[in-house]
A and B are shown apart, each in its own frame.
Chain A
Amino acid sequence: MIGPWRVLARITAATAAMMLGAPATAAPTDTAVKAAFLPRFARYVTWPPAAMPKAGDPFVLCVIGSDPFGAALDDAARSQVVDGQRIVVRRLDSAVGSDSCQIAFIQGSKVQPVGQLIAALGRRPVLTVTDASIGAQRGIVHFAVVGGRVRFFIDQSSAARHGLGISSRLLALAIGVKQ
């Protein structure tokens, strides 16, 4: 019995030492970085004028289906401004009510999976965003963690069908661009 206890005591001591010295800033989660990305996309995408919020109205970032972000997304949205307009986050259970969204992160749910939600949005001028860790169905922007960093694919032809323009600065960051 002495053996393992000794080993354990050593591990415990090492842990304590590390905790004292450990900076409390662990690497952010991939979810936190995705939340930070979402409102920033607004600056690098152009919508048809009719699809932009009216003067004085906020820019709308929607999460359709389950919400992986929680308050992190609200905080991230609050920190960004697009053409003088603030960004608000709306959480929807289904595609119903998505008319007002400029950006929609689509996680889906068992009741309404991602593919279904993308189909439901049709060709509306909404920047659809999906996540490879959730499923293979891709929106215009599709997050993937590569090399320990959050990156994304961009489907430019789909963006064009939705009437959206994507800046070269955003395209340059994509892992892959579908023309």
Chain B
Amino acid sequence: MRSSLVTGACGLVLLSASPAVAVATTVDAAAAAQAPDDLAGLSIEELSQIKVRSASKREEPLSAAPTALYVIDHDMIVRSGAVTIPEILRLAPNLQVYQASPSNWIITARGLNGLPFAQSFSNKLLVLVDGRTVYTPLFSGVYWDLPDVLPDDIERIEVISGPGATLWGANAVNGVINIITRDAGSAPGVYADVRGGSTQQAAGIRVAGSLNDKLSYRVYARALHQDAAHIAGDGSAEDSWRRLGGGFRLDWTPSARDAVTLQGDIFGGRENLPGDSSERISGRNLVLRWNRDISGDEHLQAQAFYDRIHRGETGSSGSFHVDTYDIDLQHSFRLGRRHQLVWGGGARVASYQINGSPSFFFQPGSRNLFLANLFVQDTVELSKALSVTAGVKAEHDPYVGFSLLPDVRVAFTPAKTTLLWAAVSHAVRSPTPFDEDVRESVPGVTLSGNRNFRTEKLTAYELGLRVQPLPSLSFSATGFYHHYDDLRSVELLPGPGLNLIWGNQLAGHSYGVEAWASFKPLDWWTLSGGAMLLKEKFRFKDAATAPFIGTTQNGVDPGHQFTLRSSMDLGKALMLDVDFRAIGKLKEAGIPAYAELGGRFAWGVSDHLTLSLSGANLLHRRHVEYSGGDAISRKVLVGVEWRP
């Protein structure tokens, strides 16, 4: 499959664990609502007729979680005008998002964005959609063209930069992205959304409602088409693509103690490749989740999911499919006055079959990967202001056996509006078939997987501060130092010819700062900004055999990234959102620094109807974001939304 198995790659996710509970409590401090005085005098009937802005519950949460957590909420997603998940993820200041082609995105946190020519792909993020890992276990990266949701269905996206391995799993090395959709009954009625412009067209529809007071449902369908981008010089990159998908969600509350969710999606699509060939994608999944409140302090969650993905090029260039079966269990309870315990475990079988081509295949081409984990975490309240969370996860994977992933976090809350935290944690990326079993060749060069490939290891030290000095002002900053060992490297086999093999001969460190702030100077105006500074230093270990490939083979990352967003309500019916980003150069990849502008202007014509004009990448006709990537064009879309 050419290198399409991997070129289309980004992100990652092999071994997650207990998605739903892990991102601790968000204390919605004094966030949200201003109560205009004019509400005070209204009768209850008048109140029920007042038209509201659906502001998010968490306009800027001061989270109690001692971790670098940024929350993208529903309102931000709608107002941004973003159409796909990767576009939405540009809203998180602690992620780096690169568009390499209309369908291929590279997303990472704290660097290591990969280097295609060295066959290295961003592979240290864990991504979940409603508890289901969105991953390709073949190389631990995410194909961002596979998961899709209606943006309006998303309740929030929790983005954690830094390791989350203890609760989340072995691939939560540099970050976790947890996409949570709304409860099925939250927006009863018919929703429809059509957006179109020169480079992208999307249409979605949703029908939701309640069958009775215990059972609500939602069904949706969505079509997406993206035009081809341009190759770096000029001319079409011939990589337009389209997909059609749909799904459902049922939420059932059989008793006050139980909540059961059943949801599923199915989709298919076609992506053009240069020349006459194309690639088919398809997938389907089903998730069943049950939450039970055993007592006031005791909670149980069980989840099972099935997921299938398929990609295949026309002709004999290769294809693969992966079937994943997963069960997870999580139990939380209080022990005495001071201890809050969570423990759980999970098991997963990923069954894959790869039909390779003579120049790119896997040996073996099919296999069942069995993964299992067990974890425990205790949060101890040492005093009213000081708590310590310590946890460990034991994970078993088919290649290296057991890995232990410990994590210790201290949270100090001297005042309700201030959180100071520190953490030390250990995370690993486990080997995958791409590390162990791959066989690639081009004339004169071969690259083989390594049966002795070790886990890539990270020990992370973090120090964070979150303050909300005023209800209208919040600020978060995290400093991090990541120490990496046994990172993947390209090594040279002895003998004549250029025969390469994966090794673990890179080590080093990165450090930096992630900061963001939100300020609401006026009732109708919110300003927010983010900054990321990153320094990386990697070196070859003593047994390295191919230093000529360079120490940047795991990623060529920008030294900085700045974002600024303005969100305005202009009267009752008009909304104007503008976002700006400036990304530093990818030096070794020869990608210059750039700045871009996007935004959305929306007019609420009636209670139900909204017209919008949105755009992205407005400053340049085209720009290149990623090594070997297309030139990405300016985008302007016209949109019509109908809300129940």
Contact = CB atoms under 8 A, between A and B. Distances in A.
Contact of A153 (B213, B332, B568): B213
Nearest to A65: B25
B188 A135 contact: no
Interface string A126-154: 00000011111110000011111111010
A149 B574 contact: no
Given A32-B32, A173-B48, 6 more contacts: A11-B601, A15-B568, A28-B50, A28-B53, A115-B291, A144-B188
B213 A29 contact: no
Contact of A170 (B41, B44, B53, B570): B44
B55 interface: yes
A102 B155 CA distance: 30
B237 interface: no
Give the one of B21, B52, B182 with max A CB within 10 A. Answer: B52
A178 B296 contact: no
Interface of B: 21, 23-36, 38-42, 44-45, 47-55, 57-58, 155, 182-189, 210, 213, 216, 251-253, 256-259, 291, 293, 295-297, 299, 332, 340, 471, 522-524, 568-572, 574, 576, 597, 601, 607-608, 618-621, 634, 643-644
A94 B25 CA distance: 13
A138 B213 contact: yes
A5 to B, nearest CB: 8
Contacts of B186: 132-133, 144
B572 A26 contact: yes
Contacts of A15: 568, 570, 576
A53 interface: no
B28 A68 contact: yes
Contacts of B33: 28-29, 31-32, 34-35, 68-70, 72-73
Nearest to A18: B570
Contacts of B568: 15, 19
A30 B256 contact: no
A24 interface: yes
A48 interface: no
Contact of B35 (A19, A75, A110): A75
A37 interface: yes
A70 B257 contact: no
A120 interface: yes
Q: Which 8 A-B pairs have the closest CB atoms?
A: A29-B55, A116-B293, A31-B33, A72-B35, A70-B30, A26-B569, A72-B33, A120-B296
Contacts of A147: 607-608, 644
Contact of B55 (A23, A30, A112): A30
B380 to A, nearest CB: 14
Nearest to B601: A11
Contacts of B26: 66, 109
B578 to A, nearest CB: 9
B157 to A, nearest CB: 16
A76 B41 CA distance: 10
Contacts of B29: 67, 70
Contact of A118 (B55, B251, B256): B256
A36 B35 contact: yes
A43 to B, nearest CB: 8
Nearest to A154: B213
A98 B510 CA distance: 49
B185 A136 contact: yes
Contacts of A66: 25-28
B40 A26 contact: no
Contacts of A11: 601
